[in-house]
């Protein structure tokens, strides 16, 4: 266990800028008193905000840069000039061992590209995956990949399942996460060859998870599985659809309560339940997507996250560092490789 987790913060990423990031670090330090921070951005602005953050001001390390990654920057542009940006320097701190994790609310594509080139993938991982929490009718569920890989083979999906299960055990506290592959049906005969092969592999090896087979898109919100595994193309669509549906529901409710004096009365009577619904669907409550599978932890915050939301992203980084998530992923992958069935056994099992 890491006694003093050090988090590198890109203070120039996101809509809220320096003020939100520093206030979030202060809130996170209140929750996790042993947290330490390295702050990358304009020193004068950082020091001005640190005057309002007594918990972290004394120990925070400031690394000055006036250069940032813009939201409009393409990954190819950032790769050429990004090393001196607040995002690039924060990632480099993880690679150099100066920080245990980096948290940024900046350009997602740039963050993924620079992190991949700087940190590279762990041994046994072909591609990193972007994982995040989605609210359900029960508890939150982990979904990955959410956009890092548009096309995936069976090996990628199995690796995502292993990483997602470790993430669920760490963040959700589920001892044996229920894992399923996103598919167009729950029947074993449905889906692509890659999905069928990944399912066969996950059924064949005893891993610290409960493999549930396939799950359809309309079941994601039911909360009957803890980890939903898919390629980045489908995963990103599922994420955006879920976020849009949440906004649709709250928007329709708001309009419905304006139609008559009876509906307004209904609103007054149901305000508590509506506040609970809004809090459950609030992206800030589930903030902090993680690039799993790299030689270093990278957490992506929503660009529009408020102080509480960014603090939650820092909290995700803290939990993964303390739990030594990289070692857990390596151990589970080693177990999988040691007991992986050969092609003949897989073919026999599929009959």
Contact 133, 242 (CB under 8 A): no
- Among 38, 7, 188, residue whose Cα is nearest residue 103: 7
Which residue in 100, 71, 87 sits closest to 11, CA to CA? 87
Q: Are 115 and 13 in contact, with CB atoms under 8 Å apart?
A: no
Q: How far apart are CA 179 and CA 213, in angstroms?
A: 8
Mean pLDDT for the stretch of residues 334-342: 78
CA torsion angle for 300, 306, 307, 312 (degrees, to 10)? -40
- The burial class, CB within 10 Å (0-12 / 13-18 / 19+), for 206 is exposed
Would you state the torsion angle of the CA atoms of residues 252, 253, 258, 261, taken in this order, to the nearest 10 degrees?
Answer: 140
Q: Which of 46-55, 57-66, 193-202, 272-281 bottoms out in mean pLDDT, i.e. has the lowest?
A: 272-281
DSSP E strands, 135-255: 141-144, 178-182, 210-215, 227-229
143 three-class SS: strand
Residue-averaged pLDDT of the chain: 86
- Using alpha carbons, select from 215, 186, 198, 187 the residue that is nearest to residue 157: 198
Locate tokens 């994601």: which residue? Answer: 220
C-alpha separations of 305 from 29, 120, 179, 283 in Å:
18, 27, 29, 8
Domains 1-125+293-323 and 127-286 share a fold: yes
Buried b (16+ CB within 10 A) or exposed e, 92-111: bbbbeeebbbbbbbbbbbbb
CATH 3.40.47.10 for domain 1-125+293-323: no
Residue 73, Cα to own-chain centre: how many angstroms? 22
Measure the CA dihedral 289/101/158/139, to 10°. -40
What is the rounded CA–CA span in Å between residue 3 and residue 6?
10
- Percent above pLDDT 70 for the chain: 91
DSSP secondary structure code for residue 173 in this structure: -
What is the reported pLDDT for 49? 93
Q: What's the rounded mean pLDDT across residues 101-110? A: 90
Instruction: Fold for 127-286, please state it.
Output: Isopropylmalate Dehydrogenase (3.40.718)
Strands 178-182 and 210-215: parallel
d(CA 68, CA 31): 29
Using DSSP, state whether 111 is helix, strand or coil.
helix
Encoded tokens for 272? 């508590």
- How confident is the model over 130-134, as a mean pLDDT? 88
Q: Is the pLDDT of residue 277 over 70?
A: no
pLDDT at 155 over 80: yes
Domain positions in the chain: 1-125+293-323, 127-286
Least Cα distance to 163 among 126, 137, 194, 138 occurs for 126
What pLDDT is attached to residue 157?
94
Banded pLDDT at 276 (limits 50, 70, 90):
low
């Amino acid at each position: 266990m890491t006694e003093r987790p050090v988090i590198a913060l890109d203070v120039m990423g996101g809509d809220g800028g320096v003020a939100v990031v520093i206030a979030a670090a202060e809130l996170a330090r209140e929750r996790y008193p042993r947290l330490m921070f390295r702050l990358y951005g304009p020193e004068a602005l950082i020091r001005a905000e640190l005057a309002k953050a007594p918990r972290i001001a004394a120990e925070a390390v400031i690394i000055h840069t006036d250069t940032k990654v813009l939201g409009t920057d393409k990954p190819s542009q950032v790769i050429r000039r990004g090393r001196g940006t607040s995002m690039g320097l924060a990632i480099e701190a993880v690679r150099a061992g100066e920080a245990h994790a980096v948290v940024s609310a900046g350009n997602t594509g740039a963050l993924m590209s620079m992190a991949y080139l700087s940190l590279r993938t762990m041994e046994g991982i072909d591609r990193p995956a972007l994982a995040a929490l989605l609210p359900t009718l029960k508890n939150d569920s982990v979904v990955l990949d959410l956009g890092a890989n548009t096309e995936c083979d069976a090996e990628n999906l199995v690796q995502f399942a292993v990483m997602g299960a470790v993430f669920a055990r760490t963040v959700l506290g589920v001892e044996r996460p229920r894992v399923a592959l996103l598919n167009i049906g729950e029947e074993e005969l449905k889906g692509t060859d890659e999905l069928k092969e990944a399912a066969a592999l996950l059924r064949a090896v005893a891993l610290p998870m409960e493999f549930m087979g396939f799950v359809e898109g309309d079941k994601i919100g039911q909360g009957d599985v803890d980890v939903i595994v898919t390629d980045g193309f489908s995963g990103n669509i599922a994420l955006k659809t879920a976020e849009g549906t949440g906004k649709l529901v709250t928007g329709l409710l708001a309009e419905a309560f304006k139609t008559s004096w009876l509906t307004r009365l209904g609103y007054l009577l149901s305000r508590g339940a509506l506040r609970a619904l809004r809090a459950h669907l609030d992206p800030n409550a589930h903030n902090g997507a993680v690039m799993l599978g790299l030689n270093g932890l990278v957490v992506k915050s929503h660009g529009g996250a408020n102080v509480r939301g960014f603090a939650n992203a820092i909290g995700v980084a803290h939990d993964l560092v303390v739990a030594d998530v990289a070692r857990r992923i390596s151990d589970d992958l080693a177990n999988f490789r040691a007991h992986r069935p050969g092609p003949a056994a897989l073919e026999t099992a599929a009959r």
